[in-house]
Chain A
Amino acid sequence: MGDWYYWHREHRGTLLAIFAFVVMFAIYSFNHPVGLNANVATTAANKGVLLALVAMAQTVVVITSGIDLSVGAVLVLANCLASRIVLGDTISTGMGVVGVLLVGCLCGALNGLIVVYGRLQPIVTTIATGAVFYGIALALRPVPGGDVNAQLAEALTGKLWLDIPASLVLLVAIIGLVWMPYRRSVIGRATYAVGSSESAAYMSGVPIKAAKFTAYTLSGLLSAMAGLFVTFVTYSGEASAANGSTYTLYSIASVVLGGVSLFGGAGSAVGAVFGALMFRTIGDLMFVFNLEPLWQPLFQGLILLAAISLGAVRLFQVRNRLELYD
């Protein structure tokens, strides 16, 4: 009984996100003009997985009560780099993938170094490093173009047996091989402690510096994975500042929808993944219900505003008004 209570408290946000996504996706697939077939599912999965990876990247940093506003820029950089080096035979393609992921890690590590050892605020740091990453992306790809290994791209964005979208399998694999071990490791737990109370974590001997540094580096890695996936979907690279800031905004929206606390210390990447899938489904719902494309950005913004307003529910639980002013 006791265990169940705490488990439920810890995962309440994630469960809510999963429930909301399932309801929305059901409405979407019942109202889709052709119904839910393999192609519709694959396209939806590809778009969803893209955002889900960026949302995971944002989550690991938000858990430390930081923020990474450079996820979009790292994604764009990885996209531009991948459109140059993920080419050719198996070996050079493999090296290219490793190279892109390594660059993502480096970007994240740079953020981590500046935030942890430079002791600058995450917001300012990541806005400024975002400009640097975007500049490098622009140098790599001044005009949109490039190419990517088509076999690999088709394999990862296509269908597997039983018409299961390959991208979903990839996402599950990343959650299982990257997020789960990280969450259970000492460092992973330390990031939650840092997010809850940095000074208490310091007093308890938690490795706060290593925890924060790892979180930012992992965020860079996951953003680079998303950038790589963008390349597989579009078969080209584009240094677009608008794309970068859109992904950054959507990543924060997904994190909020996924029940991750923006004050840090609570939530999980699984929740953020479902938050991302939910956010994508909202966009698809507008398409299914024939909403004028002109009005879509406004509705997306209003839904975002409404979703974050749900965070105000905690005001009703406050017993002492002083709890509000921290």
Chain B
Amino acid sequence: MTEIGPSSHAVKSLMRHVDPAIATAFACIVALLLVGSIYSSSFLSPEYLLQQLKVGAFLGVIATGMMFVILIGQIDLSVPWVVAVGGMMATAATAWGPAGEFFAIPVGVLCGVVLGLVNGFGVAYMRIPSMIVTLAVNAVAQGLMVVHTGGFAPQDASSHAMRFIATGHSVFGIPNALWIWVFVGGIAVFVLSRTTFGRSIYAIGNSERATYLSGVRTRFVILTAFAISGGLSAFGGVLLAGYASKAAQSMGDAYLLPAIAAVVLGGTSILGGRGKYLGTVAGVILITLLQSILSVMQIEEYARHVIYGAVIILMLLLYGREYQVR
């Protein structure tokens, strides 16, 4: 008879609570840091890590919105231009004078929420596949921004407040952008795990039909999830505009694949209904570190694209596979 000690019990129950996908993602982060530290010792310095977290915060905010949408089993492909709308509308508001400067951040986020509501209305009430609606809204947002900027150079400098939240350091020398991500993430964790809204998001991802039959207003929940995603994408754009101190048309292009990849690499099922916010945090850090290491090693741009795509596929093959059809 083998004796099982209390410590072995503790390990087993701990193992049961740890999501293998999240554990793998964190293991990959450690592995990446080790690879980086072989290349240069500064990879393990606190300054470098804080800098990475600060850069990752922008992706983190956008990926948080994407996670809400992926959890209900949908996808938001309108990220690129909603990010741009957020940044450009915020900088446009800054140009209105002192009052505009005060309202710059809310205006940017609000524009994103409106676009998100259009997405959500199409998906929830008109029952059109989210991939298509969000692609079309992306095209409309692009058209709107072309009209907005066309013909003359618009005011594109960001306000003081935007620069402050994106580049400043206030408490304990930790970047403000990181505080923002912690704040957004904290609210996301609370909403997803402690509110009826959050629970119905998971329920819809598993079976919208069953959720509807149990009396949840599923269409309203879907609409809200898309509005959250739009708002957070635009907020990401506001932060990016603050970081670069101006807004540009293509500023959001580089965020669609990373946002989806971060959520999915963090163990959230792309079919919805399963996934933890901690996983998304791991995914965001993983993607940010990967991008940073590729650029520090001065790998050519084409090879960066190839490695980046290949690594995402390989990691997903490690633990993101679906079950076989039976």
Contacts and interface: CB of A to CB of B under 8 A. Distances in A.
Contact of B302 (A139, A256, A299, A315): A139
Interface string A128-151: 111110111111001000000000
B261 A298 contact: no
B301 interface: yes
Contacts of A302: 140, 143
Interface stretch (A20-28, A30-38, A227-235, A306-314): A306-314
Interface string B116-148: 000000100011110111011111111110110
A128 B142 contact: no
B264 interface: yes
Contacts of A295: 143, 147
Contacts of B144: 298
A304 interface: yes
A326 interface: yes
Contacts of A287: none
B76 to A, nearest CB: 11
9 contacts: A120-B316, A124-B316, A199-B326, A297-B139, A300-B139, A301-B143, A305-B140, A315-B127, A322-B213
B136 A315 contact: no
Interface of B: 75, 122, 126-129, 131-133, 135-144, 146-147, 150-151, 208-209, 211-213, 218, 253, 256-257, 260-261, 264, 270-271, 300-310, 312-313, 316-317, 320-326
A123 B77 CA distance: 10
A262 interface: yes
Given A67-B131, A118-B317, A312 B306 contact: no
A314 B140 CA distance: 24
Contacts of A135: 301-309
B253 A127 contact: no
Interface residues of A, number: 54
A204 to B, nearest CB: 12
Contact of A256 (B132, B253, B316): B132
B146 A128 contact: no
Contacts of B142: 297, 301
Contacts of A326: 208-209
A263 interface: yes
A308 B133 contact: yes
Given A199-B325, A325-B218, A124 B309 contact: no
Q: List 3 A-B pairs, minimum CB-CB distance, nearest first.
A: A298-B143, A135-B305, A131-B309
Main secondary structure of the interface of A (DSSP, over half): helix
Contact of A123 (B140, B151, B213, B270): B270
Contact of B322 (A119, A134, A297): A119
Given A137-B302, A256-B132, A298-B140, 11 more contacts: A124-B316, A127-B257, A129-B309, A131-B308, A132-B305, A139-B300, A297-B142, A304-B140, A309-B128, A312-B127, A315-B126
B136 A131 contact: no
A40 to B, nearest CB: 26
A201 B322 CA distance: 18
B313 A128 contact: yes
A263 B130 CA distance: 11
Contacts of A63: none
B208 A241 contact: no
Contacts of A202: 325-326
